[in-house]
Structure 1
Amino acid sequence: MTAERVTDYATRVLAPNPGPMTLEGTNTWILRAPEPTADRPDAAADAPRTARSIVVDPGPLLEDHLRAVLAAAGDVAVVLITHKHPDHTEGAAWFANQAGCGVRAVDPAFRIPTDHAHGLAEGDVITADGLRVEVLPTPGHTLDSVCFWLPQDGSLLTGDTVLGRGTSVVAHPDGALAPYLDSLEKLLAFTNSAAAPKRLLPGHGPVIEDPATVLTHYLTHRHERLDQVRAALAAGHTTPAAVVAHVYADVDPTLHPAAERSVRAQLDYLHTP
């Protein structure tokens, strides 16, 4: 496990938990303002030489991985959580205890300390020695999902809302399709704004260098799947398993349980008045 410098502000440590749902593994992100150099005198000029870092999604409870993150992160100001799934959160308490820092999350179950002041909400800004991180709630993949925007770097950390490869699962009932579609529209509008992100740093998979194209594909894909589910229902396939067999015939059967959770979210969306 090695730390990979991806941008001036973001370093990735890949957790060794590859799989059908995690791709190469969980991306743990270490955020830190760059130290000023002779050729970049304006870079975090007010930051100390040993600027504190912010760690996003420590990942699973794998001690070798977490120790690699500790070594790369140095002095940690705070841990931030994109969403509740164990491949992002399982190691958070252990890591925070070792780093001597707190954990901020939407879900109170993951906050350290546990009082309400350590949540994450729209408009929240987290700073650490020249680093600025802004919170963008993006519910849908899970209802507690958030993204983190680094305006100085032009990078948007998306957790599992947008993956580096393929598309994300919206798993009913923890996830819901209506807020997910709204979140994708919100992110697409953001990519077309004056402050458009240059790249997406996902929770799994490679960095996305063309955010608008990928988000447009995500929305198109979701609406195409909804049309396919409508057609399956019209053809008499009324159970989630029957819809999966009809709509997801081109998907690896090992992924059908995840597809069924997505279908349940789609059916819930279609049946909502």
Structure 2
Amino acid sequence: MTDAAALPGQPRGGVLSGPATARAVNVLAPNASAMTLDGTNTWLVSEPDSELAVVIDPGPQDEAHLRTVVDTARQAGKRVALTLLTHGHPDHAEGAARFAELTGTKVRALDPALRLGDEGLAAGDVVTVGGLELRVVPTPGHTADSLCFHLPADRAVLTGDTILGRGTTVVAHPDGRLGDYLDSLRRLRSLAVDDGVHTVLPGHGPVLEDAQGVVEFYLAHRAHRLAQVETAVEDGFREPAEVVARVYADVDRSLWPAAELSVRAQLEYLQEHGLI
């Protein structure tokens, strides 16, 4: 879920649909919009020599898309064995229950309300299917239940809405919190620096091949916006809508409602830290 259009200086990417790494294939959902960019990226992940696959974020309740994901796996000689969710927003998770019916799989998520089966997901979990290894990385901030999945064999990370392939993401206040989000970005930076992750497989937009550069861009962007919000408040703009009009004047007005969520999160952060 984006809160801004593509920004100058953001690393460029590629691959909107089809193979992105040796183990990850993107099936793009037909739900393009200002908020979802080109649509939701549904990720089909498996070891090349395995018949079993994992699907991450089946996407919206769109029967044709869900069946396309199943068919894509079948055409590759694979069977979907597990469904995972990065978070509970409908453009990622609404189709999960129906997808579970189509595939006979369990659905694992951080939020118990989204699970189908007894097993959830938590920090430090390692999901293994058919030799594939996915490491669960907690990344709250966009939402409280946001997760990323580290795919070490491809030096990649699947980021849901925590990092997008284009533009920046919403801190969806009040569920999302800026402090948590900044901590999550730093956690992803550590994956890039310490664990050699270089490829970002986002929930929307193209694949990015400079994970550390992307995270640094996001951190710099958030610091810049936070400083703008602080200045706006010092100049007498107190209401979130007023701050949006001042700070996000360069952003399409259709995205202002989403930007207001981020502004509310920023105001809360500044208040908590005694900066306003």
Residue number in structure 2 paired with 1:233: 233
**Aligned partners of 1:163 and 1:204 also within 8 Å:** yes
Q: 2:87 aligns with which of 83, 101, 113?
A: 83
Question: Counterpart in 2 of 1:54?
Answer: 54
- 1:168-199 per-position Cα deviation (integer Å, ceiling 9, x unaligned): 11011121100000000111122111x21120
Q: Taking every aligned residue pair, what percent have the same amino acid on both sides?
A: 56
Distance, in Å, in 2 between the alignment partners of 1:128 and 1:190 is 22
Q: Is the 8 A contact 2:87 2:110 kept in 1?
A: yes
- Structure 1 residue aligned with 2:203: 203
1:65 & 1:85 partners in 2: Cα distance? 17
Letter in 2 for 1:219: L
Counterpart of 1:155 in structure 2 is 156
SS of corresponding position for 1:152: helix
CA distance in 2, matches of 1:112, 1:3: 27
Q: Secondary structure at the match of 1:185?
A: helix
Which amino acid in 1 is paired with 2:266?
Answer: Q
**Would you say the 8 A contact 1:70–1:99 is kept in 2?**
yes
Shift of 1:73: 2.3
Tell me what 1:126 maps to.
127
Normalising by structure 2, what TM-score?
0.90
Report the CA distance between 1:59 and its aligned residue.
0.1
Counterpart selection for 1:20 from 27, 34, 47: 34
Q: Quick one: distance in 2 between partners of 1:218 and 1:100?
A: 38
Aligned-pair Cα RMSD in Å: 1.2
User: Whole-Å Cα distance in 2 between the matches of residues 177 and 34 of structure 1?
Assistant: 38
CA distance in 1, matches of 2:97, 2:190: 35
Q: Distance in 1 between matches of 2:227 and 2:21?
A: 39
The reply on whether 1:170 has 2:171 as its aligned counterpart is yes
- In the alignment, is the contact (CA less than 8 A) between 1:54 and 1:76 conserved in 2? yes
Q: Does the aligned pair in 2 maintain the 1:169–1:259 contact within 8 Å?
A: yes
**1:42 match:** none
Give the alignment's TM-score, normalised by structure 1. 0.91
**Is the CA contact 1:172–1:261 (under 8 Å) kept in the aligned structure 2?**
yes
Q: Are 1:9 and 2:23 matched, yes or no? A: yes
Aligned twin of 1:32: 46
In the alignment, the residues of structure 1 paired with residue 67 and residue 17 of structure 2 have an alpha-carbon distance, to the nearest angstrom, of: 11
Between 67-76 and 157-166, the greater mean CA deviation after superposition: 67-76
Q: Any conservation in 2 of the 1:3–1:68 contact (CA below 8 Å)?
A: no
Conserved 8 A contact 1:3-1:69: no
Q: How many residues align?
A: 254
The superposition leaves residues 210-258 of structure 1 with CA deviations (integer Å, 9 ceiling, x where unpaired) of 1111110100010111110110000000000110111111110111111
Quote the offset at 1:98 in angstroms: 1.0
**Matching residue of 2:102:** 98
Distance 2:73 2:92 in 1: 17
**Following TM superposition, by how much is the alpha carbon of 1:33 offset from its aligned partner in structure 2, in angstroms?**
0.3
| Unaligned runs of at least 5 residues, structure 1 | 36-46
Q: Which residue of 2 aligns with 1:218?
A: 218
Report 1 or 2 for greater relative contact order, CA contacts < 8 Å, sequence distance ≥ 6: 2
Q: CA deviation at 1:203?
A: 0.2
What secondary structure does 2:35 align onto? coil
Q: 1 CA distance for matches of 2:151 and 2:229?
A: 37
Query: How far apart are the structure 2 equivalents of 1:129 and 1:223?
Result: 42
Aligned residue for 1:172, secondary structure, equals coil
Determine the C-alpha separation between the residues in 1 that align with 2:237 and 2:198: 42
Q: Give unmatched runs, 5+ long, in structure 2.
A: 1-15
1:186, 1:14 → 2: CA distance? 27
Q: In structure 2, what is the Cα distance between the partners aligned to 1:237 and 1:143?
A: 28
Larger Rg: 1
Asked if structure 1 preserves the Cα contact closer than 8 Å seen for 2:198 and 2:212, the reply is no
Deviation at 1:89, TM superposition (A): 0.3
SS of match in other structure, 1:149: strand
DSSP-derived class of the 1:192 partner: helix
Deviations 1:1-22 (A, max 9, x none): x961221100110000000110
